[in-house]
Amino acid sequence: MKPPRFQYHAARTIEEAIELLARYAGEARILAGGQSLVPMLNFRLLEPRALIDIGRIPGLDAITGGPLVTLGAMTRQRSAEESPIVQTALPLLREALRWVGHLPTRSRGTIGGSIAHADPSAEIPLVLLASDGSVTVQGPQGTRDIAAVDLFESLFTTSLVPGELLTRVHMPAMPAGTRIGFDEFARRHGDFAIVTVAVALTPSEDGSTARANPESGPRYAQVRLAASGVGSVPLRLTAAEAHLLQHGTEPASLAAAAELAAAAADPVGDANGSADYRRHLLKVLLERTLESTVRPTAKRLAS
């Protein structure tokens, strides 16, 4: 249970890290917080020729506010969780971070590392997708932005090409009044989740939630729903979103949206749950989370 031998480089700049990536031609791994990479090394699941540590690159852990919030790739999950910018502008990320591993793993684990790792059960990639976020990557050819919807290709696989480094993560600030919900089902808190759902409901610009008739429940101008654990990548639940936009949020509408979400999902069963079980979990979790988001009653777990 010790890592294999590897060359170690502490990059001082992004450019140096990219140059090192090129030098090792796909045989080096980027070390950010190490909370996924080091266990994989301990298990000898990976035997890279070199690790390129980006933890000492100045400024790569900065969080900047504005209409588009930017988090440097090396932002520790714990720092994001405690950031006033995140607390105000990215409530969905703030809530989701509470579910990422445990406090001691969040002290070291990073926002960019989790996204680049693209674990299909991870919370941060799910939030990136649900938030219409994007990432900036830099490589020998320069920099480019990749929208979340184009980023996650398969299990542990992103659309970064070899030699590219994820440097920044962007999420649009959620409009004031946005209601968020986040829930996951895992065998124990902090374990890899079996199914996770993320909900963000934004009222129209004047802050109102129109009611077509008294029975239809509040109607939102923007509905964003996503789930993980029901496919090899996080999934945007577009049919359910369209349903809620059109039919409002009374209980029968939420149930119908959850049915639509489950029907659209194509999970793969594994030791943690069959495909049918995951589809069922998605339906139950989504309906429950929508209900508590639209009509909060129970005392929420304080953070």
- The binding site for another protein (CB under 8 A) comprises 1-8, 10, 31, 34-35, 38-39, 41-44, 47, 49, 51, 53, 55, 78, 82, 101-105, 107-108, 188-190, 301-302
CB of 194 to another protein, least distance (A): 17
- Residues β-bridged to residue 158: 152
Nearer to another protein by C-beta: 32 or 294? 32
Task: Look at the block and give the residue holding tokens 């502008």.
Answer: 89
The letter for the amino acid at 114 is S
In whole angstroms, how large is the CA radius of gyration of the chain? Answer: 20
CB of 1 to another protein, least distance (A): 4
Nearer to another protein by C-beta: 141 or 271? 271
Nearer to another protein by C-beta: 35 or 158? 35
CB of 299 to another protein, least distance (A): 10
Gap between the Cα atoms of 65 and 69, Å rounded: 5
Nearer to another protein by C-beta: 2 or 58? 2
Spatial contact of 128 and 148, defined as CB atoms under 8 Å apart: yes
CB of 268 to another protein, least distance (A): 24
Gap between the Cα atoms of 61 and 281, Å rounded: 36
CB of 109 to another protein, least distance (A): 9
Gap between the Cα atoms of 98 and 92, Å rounded: 10
CB of 30 to another protein, least distance (A): 13
Nearer to another protein by C-beta: 113 or 231? 113
The letter for the amino acid at 40 is M
**Terminal-to-terminal C-alpha distance of the chain:** 34
Q: Where are the beta strands (DSSP E) in the chain?
A: 7-10, 28-31, 50-53, 63-64, 68-72, 134-139, 142-147, 152-154, 157-158, 165-172, 179-185, 195-202, 222-228, 235-236
Say if strands 222-228 and 235-236 run parallel, antiparallel, or are unpaired: antiparallel
What is the separation of C-alpha 221 from the centre of its chain, rounded to a whole number of angstroms? Answer: 23
The letter for the amino acid at 284 is V
Phi, psi dihedrals of residue 100, rounded to the nearest 5° = -80, 110
Nearer to another protein by C-beta: 7 or 274? 7
CB of 50 to another protein, least distance (A): 8
The letter for the amino acid at 156 is F
Nearer to another protein by C-beta: 43 or 208? 43
